[in-house]
């Protein structure tokens, strides 16, 4: 199969895949595993932190048993000190999806990293501009010295369309946009969506806010019990600086603050919960309830059957036969 072929122009001719999205801790991975018991599927993880080896607890990574039950892709692919860009994810995900289809299986794109999902669902054309560590350090220093708003204004001067789309608080994204402009001479905003490669059914899994917050808090407590502190300590001892993206995500950065003596453990745990609640609300801005492309279902006992109904409808009779979808 030619991974680099031009995408089909008709959705009827494009390969059909399924994406499961929603806020953190809502139960996306559990739903995907349930579907894997009934359908010949392979899971393509769309989680920006599960790519890192050795960071298992804090990323809610699928267990070895779960990975034996259903094939998972884009899990444990780089070390925490390695660079891993959105373009890297897109390239690897395209290869995994095509290989899954070639085996006659259904690719399930599962995760809550909005940029990762968009890169596949919308066929976003991404800049292939190599990271420039010196420029990134200079921009980080600029943000520390003058503030993130000043950094964002610098992007506004260079690429107003990109600046309007990027939250000033997302310093990594602002830095990347400036890096692309200054290294390539091309506006970051000029990289637009192409015709998507796949005909995608996107299932959004949701629940009420109180229930979601309870699930988040319970998961944080389990992660502490399962060794999140020791996992973070091992990553630091293994040579991964706290400034790397791998340790900059929710959970790890608060535990780093605890290990540095800037927070006590109780305060670190409470901050993880609070920040994860906030992150879940932000995810709903990526996966908007009013987006006509999403098919929202409630997390709960009926979610598997509701998802199966949507998948059958999406695949159609011929694909259903090929995939042996149960009737």
pTM: 0.82
CB 54, CB 231: distance < 8 Å: yes
Domains 16-125+193-216+287-323 and 133-190 share a fold: no
Give me the residues paired with residue 193 across strands: 124
Q: What are the tens digits of pLDDT across the range 231-285?
A: 999 999 999 999 889 998 899 999 999 999 999 999 999 999 999 999 999 888 8
Instruction: Give the domain 133-190 fold.
Output: Histone, subunit A (1.10.20)
Give the pLDDT score at 1.
Answer: 28
- Domain range annotation of the chain: 16-125+193-216+287-323, 133-190
- Which residues of the chain form beta strands (DSSP E)? 16-21, 41-45, 72-73, 106-110, 199-206, 294-298
Other CB atoms within 10 A of residue 261 CB: 7
Instruction: Give the domain 16-125+193-216+287-323 fold.
Output: Rossmann fold (3.40.50)
Q: What is the pLDDT along the chain (327 residues), one digit of tens a residue?
A: 232 333 444 555 799 999 999 999 999 999 999 999 999 999 999 999 999 999 999 999 999 999 999 999 999 999 999 989 888 999 999 999 999 999 999 999 999 998 899 899 988 887 778 888 889 989 989 999 999 999 999 999 999 998 998 888 888 889 999 999 998 888 888 876 567 899 999 999 999 999 999 999 999 999 999 999 999 999 999 999 998 899 988 999 999 999 999 999 999 999 999 999 999 998 888 787 667 789 999 999 999 999 999 999 999 854 444 454 433
Contacts of 280 (CB under 8 A, 6+ apart): 23, 24, 25, 26, 212, 213, 216
Other CB atoms within 10 A of residue 164 CB: 10
Other CB atoms within 10 A of residue 292 CB: 6
CB 21, CB 205: distance < 8 Å: yes
Give the pLDDT score at 325.
Answer: 41
CB 24, CB 209: distance < 8 Å: no
How far, in Å, CA of 287 to CA of 21, rounded? Answer: 7
Give the pLDDT score at 323.
Answer: 52
Give the pLDDT score at 223.
Answer: 98
Give 159's DSSP letter: -
């Amino acid at each position: 199969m030619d991974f680099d072929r031009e995408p089909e122009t008709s959705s009827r001719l494009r390969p059909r895949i399924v994406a499961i999205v929603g806020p953190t801790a809502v139960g996306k991975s559990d739903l995907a595993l349930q579907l894997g018991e009934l359908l010949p599927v392979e899971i393509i993880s769309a989680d920006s932190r599960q790519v890192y080896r050795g960071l298992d607890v804090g990323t809610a990574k699928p267990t070895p048993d779960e990975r034996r039950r259903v094939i998972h892709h884009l899990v444990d692919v780089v070390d925490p000190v390695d660079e891993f860009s959105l373009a890297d994810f897109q390239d690897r995900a395209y290869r995994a999806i095509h290989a899954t289809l070639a085996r006659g299986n259904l690719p399930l794109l599962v995760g809550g990293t909005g940029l990762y999902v968009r890169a596949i669902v919308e066929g976003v054309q991404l800049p292939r501009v190599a990271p420039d560590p010196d420029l990134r350090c200079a921009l980080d220093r600029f943000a520390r010295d003058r503030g993130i708003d000043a950094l964002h204004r610098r992007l506004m001067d260079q690429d107003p369309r990109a600046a309007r789309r990027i939250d000033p608080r997302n310093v990594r994204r602002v830095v990347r946009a400036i890096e692309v402009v200054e290294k390539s001479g091309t506006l970051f905003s000029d990289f637009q969506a192409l015709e998507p490669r796949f005909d995608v059914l996107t299932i959004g899994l949701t629940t009420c806010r109180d229930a979601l917050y309870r699930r988040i808090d319970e998961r944080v407590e389990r992660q502490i019990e399962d060794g999140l502190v020791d996992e973070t300590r091992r990553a630091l001892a293994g040579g991964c600086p706290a400034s790397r993206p791998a340790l900059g995500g929710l959970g790890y950065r608060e535990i780093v603050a605890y290990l540095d003596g800037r927070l006590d453990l109780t305060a670190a745990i409470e901050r993880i919960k609070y920040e994860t609640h906030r992150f879940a609300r932000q995810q709903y801005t990526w996966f908007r309830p009013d987006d006509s492309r999403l098919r929202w279902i409630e997390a709960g006992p009926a979610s598997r059957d509701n998802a199966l109904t949507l998948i059958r409808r999406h695949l159609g009779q011929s694909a259903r036969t090929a995939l042996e979808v149960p009737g």
